[in-house]
Structure 1
Amino acid sequence: MKTTETPLTDLEIARNAAMKPIGEIAEKAGIPEDALEPYGRYKGKIDISRLPQKEEDGKVVLVTAISPTPAGEGKSTVTVGLADAFSRLGEKTMVALREPSLGPVMGLKGGAAGGGYSQVLPMEEINLHFTGDLHAITTANNALSALIDNHLHQGNLLGIDQRRITWKRVLDMNDRALRRVTVGLGGPSGGIPREDGFDITVASEIMAIFCLAKSLDDLKERLSRIVIGYTFTREPVTVRDLGAEGALTLLLRDAFKPNLVQTIGGTPALIHGGPFANIAHGCNSLIATKTAKKLADIVVTEAGFGADLGAEKFMNIKARQGDFRPDAAVIVATVRALKMHGGAAKADLSTPDKEAVERGLPNLSRHIDTIRAFGIEPVIALNRFTADTQEELSVVLDWCRENEVSAAVADVWAEGGKGGEDVARLVLGKIREGNAFHQLYDEFDTFEQKVNSIVRKVYGGDGVLFTDKALKQLQDIEKRGWDILPVCMAKTQYSLTDDPGILGRPEGFKITVRELIPKLGAGFIVCLTGDIMTMPGLPKKPAAMNMDIDRDGHAVGLM
């Protein structure tokens, strides 16, 4: 095992790892040979209809984090390392993760398959085109757009008002130039001119549906409920009205099968679906989580960004729609991120500063309160970075001890599963104790009560303000009975508020909801706040500018 002083990059570590053939990983997971559909030597899809039935479902461990910063929290790294730690302790374990989007891979983030000796493999393929799931979702989304425009061109029997079409095209790439476009130019043969736009694929409602559907039949039914726009008389038009749900389901049929890969430690891993947590619900597919529960005794999964976003939606949306409960929750924190929440500049994070760590602890405290609000007592995984001093780590551990919060250092980047065993033992204790899990609001609460519940109990704010546009949309939502659906908050990941520049644990603020978007197929109402964009842009120096291939065709600069 390499030490933390190793000069190897995440990409080099992944390339040097010895992978087992996917058939061996399937056998270890209890997947019959006829249920595995190999995609090359090291990845495959699972035909869930051929899986054996297990009497008791596995326990679900949710990994979340404090509010993320550019310093990085390593939530995926801890998730993978924790799964390998459970395996080392003799537990039959699977890890369930989201698929990376090419937008952040090529943009700001680079790869998204863990790091160091806690990675899922084959890392290069997972971070690029993988098994083509996101391409299938992109194609289904854009097929619907093509069918909408063709309907307009062929006479518009449904009376769709082209000014009120809400369905957008998508691309799995950050491209701000496509946020607003005009289509249908070129004369009569070019279709009906109208304004359109692109979202990133992971913000598509089809992605959310893909990740919440329980079966192919459920997938088809959900697709049929998508509202694509409104008629000239302001009535909603759905995919069912167009008769397109069958074709869309067909395009998604193969992608809907969960993807099987492996960790560096040899733990079976399911990577499937990938909605963002700041603009969608931020969890891997429900079908993958349920499959893992049927195969393993412990399922380690994560939800995007901090507990205010991914974990809240995991609890209030995914667990509700999937009819299951999380058995334990882990909050990932780092000394580096706590320093930033305590006012330290990014350039100074390698300089020891225990006072900045102390000033940043209220952010951790807020996320602990959030998990406790759901009736779960969390475990803190203090993800170790090489520049962390023991004094700084002790600040966090001592604070947790004083506040009766279970905590341990996770040194999984350097040591893999071995470095996560202390955290794993604490989590096993929480599983044995049980919890009093409950959602934060009832489906029959008013829509405003639901949003206020999230703002007050999760963000620690004083309430919500709706713009005039949002209030008008809310009236229409209530008139149609859609307000019974859960809430999906689209909010910056960097702050508990809707202002990304306000770090730490702010108080006395309100969240402004500027727009409401019904997602009937996904089964929730999106609340857009702040400057959140459903099509991100690339940074000044995209990660793609550091990427290349070597003489052997291997990726360079992917992490």
Structure 2
Amino acid sequence: MPGVVDIGTIAEQLGVPPDCLLPYGRQVAKIHLDALKRPSSGVGKLVLVSATTPTPAGEGKTTTSIGLAQALAKLGASVCLALREASLGPCLGRKGGATGGGRSSLVPAERINLHFTGDFHAVTSANNLLSAIIDNHIYHGNALAIDPRRVVWRRVMDMNDRSLRHIIVGLGGTGQGIPREGGFDITAASEVMAMLCLAEDSEDLRRRIDRTLVAYRWDGEPVYAGELGVTGAMLALLRDAIHPNLVQTGEGVPALVHGGPFANIAHGCSSLIATRMALHYADWGITEAGFGFDLGAEKFFDIKCRLSGLDPVAVVLVTTVRALKMHGGQPPGNPGAKNIAALRRGLVNLDKHIENVGKFNKRPVVALNHFAGDSEQEIALVVKRCEEQGVACAVCRHFEQGGKGAIELARAVMDAAASTPFAPLYPLDLPVEEKIRVICREIYGADDVAFTRQAERDLRQVTRLGLDHLPVCVAKAPTSLSDNPALKGRPRDFDITVRAVQVNSGAGFLVVLTGDVLRMPGLPKAPLAERIDLGADGRIEGL
């Protein structure tokens, strides 16, 4: 691929000291944490890329992030991407890879999408070690008096497997452990993943693991991971995973790909370490927040930025004509068909996301990701709507043209860059119920929030544990602003149902489960895995 060079050359261009580079072959390397302590010339302007509400038609958030970075490089800027890693479950299920598309892609795409440097496996192993230690402790006398019915730490795997959501462990007699209910989440939703992505360094990760709530005693008192004496072993498993991974785009722009929480069931941002590394060594750091702005970007501001002091100088809001038409009622079978009426109806989704960006004291630049078949009339309609909303809009052709196709977007971002500080959506001292209501009303547009009895019990427990000062991480359907995936556009006159609140004391937030959202996805009827094969020449096909 033109522009692709040895990863050592990319690191040298970025200014990373050679002794901080940990190569994984010629195209992949890790950058040691110590590189953050070395002098650099990076100015560190952060750009956040998010999107309107996802649809099957696609928005291209990662592709746009890559295209924007390549365009900035063409304009002579020093730039580095900070993106999330791919999860095997979606890659083999419905979504496919997470390395962009067309001429705005990361390389080596196959390695990044399948196993990469083993970070997800390390997170899975560390998580499941803690699960094994909990059950082993109960089996061998249970000195901590753990109530087996109230073990809240779940096993994980990096695969979509609905059959493992709810299971019974310990069957088979007294020698097989203590029977109890359990279950699996997908690795991207694990608290270990969240801790890895929010940790400042290895010692911060140690403190986070130690304070992680894993169970309750028979008397109802909490049990934390540090009491089980396995934090050191978990850190050993995560020793290499904490260092961010360096790859490049097809045009030779450096990209740090590290961590991979989903924004619909976790906080949806790449690692804090990778983001800081990008800003340390480049003038422009481009990062993304998963799914729509209502999910990933809200958490980016209210969790990641509040924790770290990060503050983007610009926000890019990605949308497409196809997606907006689907929000206006266009049938999913033919998203490219011209339909002005559906597009007009669907523009309300764009309106709401522009409004939401403003709630954090920011103004977005809209990136209209061009698809073949978009008519000039449809494009003009979206551009006009952005003008009416008082925001810049750039028509982007980076999928077909690479960085050259996103020059207009890059210039708009540079023009829009401002030091206006972000404003959190809610204060941390607000009661947890009110934090949830603020997000649901202000960002989703809900009338109110309904709490189930289980959620009310969970909230009382949060207060009893003294954790009601934490920010909230709402797990919600990604395909709608509401908690009902079928409601497109800009839903109105609806309530959000909160069915449970889970404590992630190590990560430092409360996970709020709404509607029917699950933390272990299932495979579709025809998973993408059925199309993937290994060719006779050793090349992977169909990924």
Name the counterpart of 2:174.
Answer: 188
Q: Which amino acid aligns with 2:377?
A: E
| Partner residue, 1:133 | 119
Deviations 1:399-457 (A, max 9, x none): 111221110101110011111110111111111x4324111111111112211111122
Q: Does 1:489 align with 2:489?
A: no
User: 1:57 and 1:224 mapped to 2: Cα distance?
Assistant: 35
Conserved? CA contact 2:2–2:251, under 8 Å: no
Alignment of 1:380-459 (within 5 A): 380-431=366-417, 433-459=418-444
Aligned residue type for 1:471: E
Counterparts of residues 451-470 of structure 1 (less than 5 Å): 451-470=436-455
Task: Give the corresponding residue for 2:152.
Answer: 166
The one-character-per-residue Cα deviations of 1:239-269 (angstroms, maximum 9, x if unpaired) are 0111121111111011100000000111100
Query: How far apart in 1 are the matches of 2:330 and 2:114?
Result: 34
**Aligned position for 2:17:** 32
Q: Residue 189 of structure 1 aligns to a residue in which SS?
A: helix
How far off its partner does 1:57 sit? Answer: 4.5
SS at match of 1:330: strand
Corresponding position of 1:520? 505
| Distance in 1 between residues matched to 2:187 and 2:42, nearest whole Å | 35
What's the CA shift for 1:351? 1.3
The answer to which of 65-74 and 51-60 deviates more is 51-60
Please state whether the residue corresponding to 2:468 is helix, strand or coil: helix
Corresponding residue of 1:476: 461
- Amino acid paired to 2:18: E
Residue 157 of structure 1 corresponds to 143
TM-score (norm. length: structure 1): 0.96
Is the Cα–Cα contact under 8 Å of residues 464 and 512 in structure 1 kept in the other structure? Answer: yes
Query: C-alpha deviations, 1:314-369, integer Å up to 9, x for none?
Result: 00001111122111100000000000000010112221112211110000000001
Checking the alignment, whether the CA contact within 8 Å between 2:398 and 2:405 is kept in structure 1 is yes
Equivalent of 2:526 in 514, 526, 541: 541
1:30-429 superposed matches below 5 A: 30-51=15-36, 52-54=38-40, 57-429=43-415
Residue-by-residue CA offset, 1:17-59 (whole Å, 9 max, x unaligned): 5521010000111111111010011000001214522476501
Residues 21/56 of structure 1: CA separation in 2 closer, same or farther (3 Å cut)? closer
Question: Counterpart of 2:262 in 1: which secondary structure?
Answer: coil
CA contact (8 A) 2:15 2:40 kept: no
Q: Which moved more, 1:126-135 or 1:543-552?
A: 543-552
Q: Give the number of equivalent residue pairs.
A: 542
Identity of aligned residues (%): 52
Contact 2:311–2:421 under 8 Å retained in 1: no
Aligned mate of 1:529, from 509, 514, 524 = 514
Aligned residue in 2 for 1:6:
none
Q: Deviations over 1:496-523 (max 9, x none)?
A: 1000000000112211110000000000
Deviations 1:96-135 (A, max 9, x none): 1000000000000111100000001100000001000000
TM (norm. structure 2) is 0.98
Select between 391-400 and 308-317 the one with higher mean Cα deviation: 391-400
Structure 2 gap ranges (5+): none
CA shift digits 1:72-95 (9 cap, x unpaired): 111110010001111111110000
3-state DSSP of counterpart to 1:484: coil
User: 1:408 and 1:50, CA in 2 relative to 1: closer, same or farther beyond 3 A?
Assistant: closer
CA distance in 2, matches of 1:530, 1:454: 15
Q: Which moved more, 1:221-230 or 1:48-57?
A: 48-57
Q: What is the one-letter code of the residue matched to 1:417? A: G
> Which 10-residue stretch deviates more, 39-48 or 178-187?
178-187
3-state SS of 2:390 partner: coil
Partner amino acid for 1:540? K
CA contact (8 A) 1:94 1:300 kept: yes
2:446 counterpart SS class:
coil
SS in 1 for 2:251: coil
DSSP 3-state at the match of 1:305: coil
Please state whether the residue corresponding to 1:155 is helix, strand or coil. Answer: coil
Partner amino acid for 2:110? Answer: E
Distance 1:403 1:502 in 2: 24
C-alpha separation in 1, matches of 2:441 and 2:3: 48
Contact 2:41/2:281 (CA < 8 Å) preserved in 1? no
Residue 189 of structure 1, CA deviation: 2.0
Which stretch has the larger CA shift, 56-65 or 101-110?
Answer: 56-65
Alignment RMSD? 1.1
Would the aligned equivalents of 1:229 and 1:237 in 2 still touch at CA under 8 Å? yes
Aligned residue identity for 1:326: P
Do the aligned partners of 1:65 and 1:307 also contact (CA within 8 Å) in 2? yes
The answer to whether the 8 A contact 1:22-1:42 is kept is yes
Letter in 1 for 2:199: A
Does the CA contact (< 8 Å) of 1:328 and 1:430 recur in 2?
yes
Residues 50 and 61 of structure 1: CA distance in aligned 2, closer, same or farther (over 3 Å):
closer
Q: What is residue 557 of structure 1 aligned with on the other side?
A: 542
Q: Is the 8 A contact 2:169 2:179 kept in 1?
A: yes
Could you tell me how far apart the structure 2 residues matched to 1:512 and 1:358 are? 30
Greater mean alpha carbon deviation, residues 243-252 or residues 127-136: 243-252
Shifted more, 203-212 versus 474-483: the winner is 474-483
CA distance in 1, matches of 2:389, 2:240: 48
Separation of aligned partners in 1, 2:309 and 2:448: 29
SS for the counterpart of 1:260 is: strand
**What is the CA–CA distance in structure 2 between the aligned matches of 1:18 and 1:148, rounded to whole Å?**
50
- What are the ranges of 5 or more consecutive residues in structure 1 without an aligned counterpart? 1-15
Preserved CA contact (<8 Å) 1:377 1:435: no
Once residues 102 and 530 of structure 1 are traced to their aligned partners in structure 2, the CA distance between those partners, rounded to angstroms, is 25
More displaced stretch, 38-47 vs 177-186: 177-186
The 3-state SS of whatever aligns with 1:534 is: coil
> In the TM superposition, what whole-angstrom CA distance separates every residue of 1:136-186 from its partner, at most 9, and x where no partner exists?
000000100110111011100000010111111111000011111121122
